[in-house]
Structure 1
Amino acid sequence: MDPLEDVLALLGTRAHLSTGMSAGGSWAVRFEPPDGVKFNAVLRGRCFLGVEGLDAPISLAQGDCFLLTRPLVFTLFSDPLAVPVDAGPLWTAAGDGLPHVGDGADTLLVGGRFSFGDRARSLLLDGLPPVIHVPAETGEASAVRWALDQIDTELRGCAIGSTLAAEHLAVVMLIHVLRLHLAREPRAVSGWLAGLADPVVAAALRSMHARPAHPWTVAELARTGAVSRSTLAARFKDTVGLGPLDYLTRWRIELASRRLRDGGDTLATIAHAVGYGSESALSSAFKRITGSSPREYRRRSAGALLPEPSPGQASRAG
């Protein structure tokens, strides 16, 4: 299995498209911190992106897109001297139409957000920088441009199922953006995402995700990358921040958590499925990582969040 695919599926990744925005002349629009991961793409024209905490604005040209991975205030603008208007009233006034700001319509943007399950921050988003910018001019961005063109076609055509098709295409775009970012700036990510950029670590990650219930040893994982135990252990810890078996324990607990949230399987069945020989072994590992027993977690999973593991927890896969 592919680790990125596994995590996006486990988090229930979904795209939600907005109506987009047209603008012209001198303009600026201020947006409140988004819920989830915000994305925008410039279909026509150009503008700037200013994000709370960033030293300088990012120039966006036609075909560019960006992901905002943190809940931060951001502003899209054509003129740094323009007084920003709030996005909320602008969208309310537009009703079912296309929000517009400024004079003319030389700039057109499409946007939306990605929503995830309640573990997205620790599993995915904390490993990414606050903003990922994909310029259209870079050669490797062709896949992103294809997805954007298809989204634009679906939204313009208004055919049967066009909204759903466009939302699925947006998830395709997200995968391509993450791929391109890993290839272009591997040092700008951390955690298991950083491991995907290291061929030795990535081989071990793929093996663990393909067979999470297998009783992996460091020596066996090292053979998947054709390196020694010590080399794998050092490179894995340096990139991911955990030892290989620590990571395996945490991934097993994530899989167990999903089964506890989404199904009615017994604890013994779940334990066997994720690599534990007994219910008690799963319960011990689950409580060590999350601070809760599996039964406690299942009881409150409808409305409560799973406690975040602390960096020092989980010394072994058991």
Structure 2
Amino acid sequence: MNVQQADPLEDVLTLIGTTSRLSVGLVAGGRWALSFDPPEGIKFNAVRRGRCLLTVDGVPEPIPLAEGDCFLLVQPRAFTLASEPGVRPLPAGPVFAAATGGVARAGEGEDVVFVGGRFGFGERARELLLDVLPPVIHVPGGTPEAATVRWALDLIDAELRERPLAATLVTEHLALVMLIHLLRLHLMTAGSGGTSGWLAGLADPVVAPALRAMHARPAHAWTVAELAGVAAVSRSTLAARFKQVVGRGPLEYLTGWRIELAADRLRRGDETVAAIANDVGYGSVSALSNAFKRIAGVSPRDYRLASLPPRRSGPPWPAAAGR
């Protein structure tokens, strides 16, 4: 069956409003160690020169970092960067507060050079993306697959060093390019075993075609049999595999994604609830309202009112299935 396919990762990154910001660089040498407080959003660092150790709270073993390596700290956990084991860490805050020329310094010398920053997201990022990723993603830089990441880092370095016009904007966009490639590499190397939920489904050869079809046409009245045809497997195989990998059935996932799309449009615009209902696959306002209230706990109209400032931007949402 030839069915239009979409890119769920692109859909989610767009919906959650991904932004990036580079932070002060770090140069370190000799025996040194810095302890960092749990960051907001996703923290990233790349080793441009040298080697060090990364230790993350809750992760059993230290992660050796070599030149060209990157890591994403996905969960808000404290972490330490150190030249070697056994060095007593200093708090990173004062070291970065004393930075000059956009560079913080630790220890003696310039054995290790880092570039880093963080990615910010909208209110639904924790449920939609961050909770389906492992706490830390380490991407070695010495592999052919990481070539695009190295390219982005080289350009970021050049922009920061030469400071041409609009350098900040360019580096922030390059950082987003790097994030997408890091997530791609993670899916390629870890497969569905390194993630959970819908992101694990993208790495599964049976589930991925069905996911992409639903994202391409969320308003279509999909059946499990039709999605099984897209995936070229039996209805029972798709249903079981989807539940196993994603944590919920295909039609339950479709309902959740439709409600995400509806909630996003309710937060952002002044479209009528009827127009939104029609566009996300519900034939009437009452049908959307029933589904929305079942998942979000409130009606679409109440959700929109709660999204207006100065009130909080949304109601509590149930935890995603499969975690």
> TM-score under structure 2 normalisation?
0.94
Distance in 2, Cα, partners of 1:184 & 1:299: 43
Deviation at 1:292, TM superposition (A): 1.2
Q: CA-to-partner distance for each residue in 1:246-296, whole Å, 9 max, x for gaps?
A: 000000000001001000001101101111111111110001011111112
**1:296 equivalent in alignment to 2:310:** no
- For the 8 Å contact 2:202–2:208, the answer to whether it is kept is yes
Runs of 4+ in 1 over 4 A off after TM superposition: 310-313
Could you tell me how far apart the structure 2 residues matched to 1:198 and 1:75 are? 34
State the Cα distance separating 1:217 from its structure 2 match. Answer: 0.9
2:317 partner letter: E
Question: CA shift at 1:82, angstroms?
Answer: 2.2
Matched position secondary structure for 1:309: coil
Native 8 Å contact 2:28 2:111 kept in 1: yes
Contact 2:127 2:320 in 1 (8 A): no
The alignment status of 1:281 with 2:287, answered yes or no, reads yes
Shift in Å at residue 164 of structure 1?
A: 1.0
CA 1:118 to 1:53, structure 2 compared with 1: closer, same or farther past 3 Å?
same
Matches within 5 A, 1:87-106: 87-94=92-99, 96-106=101-111
Alignment of 1:84 with 2:50, yes or no, is no
2:165 matched residue in structure 1: 160
* Cα deviation 1:188-233 (Å, max 9, x = unaligned): 1110001001122111111111111111111111111111111111
Task: Report how far residue 306 of structure 1 moved.
Answer: 3.5
Determine if the alignment matches structure 1 residue 241 to structure 2 residue 250: no
Q: Could you list the runs of 5+ residues in structure 2 that have no partner in the other structure?
A: 1-5
AA paired with 2:96? Answer: W
Count matched residues.
Answer: 313
State the Cα RMSD in Å: 1.5
Aligned to 2:200: 194
| Offset from partner CA, 1:148-188 (integer Å, 9 cap, x none) | 11211221121111111111111111111111111111101
Give the corresponding residue for 2:3.
none
Residue 108 of structure 1: which of 86, 90, 113 is its match? 113
Q: Report the counterpart of residue 309 of structure 1 in structure 2.
A: 318
SS at structure 2 position matched to 1:16: strand
Equivalent residue, structure 2, for 1:49: 54
**Runs of 5+ unmatched residues, structure 1:** 314-318
| Deviation readout 1:106-157 (Å, 9 max, x if unpaired) | 2110011111111111111111111100011233222221221121122112
User: 2:25 corresponds to which residue?
Assistant: 20
Report SS of the residue matched to 2:21.
strand
Aligned to 1:71: 76
The letter of the residue matching 2:26 is M
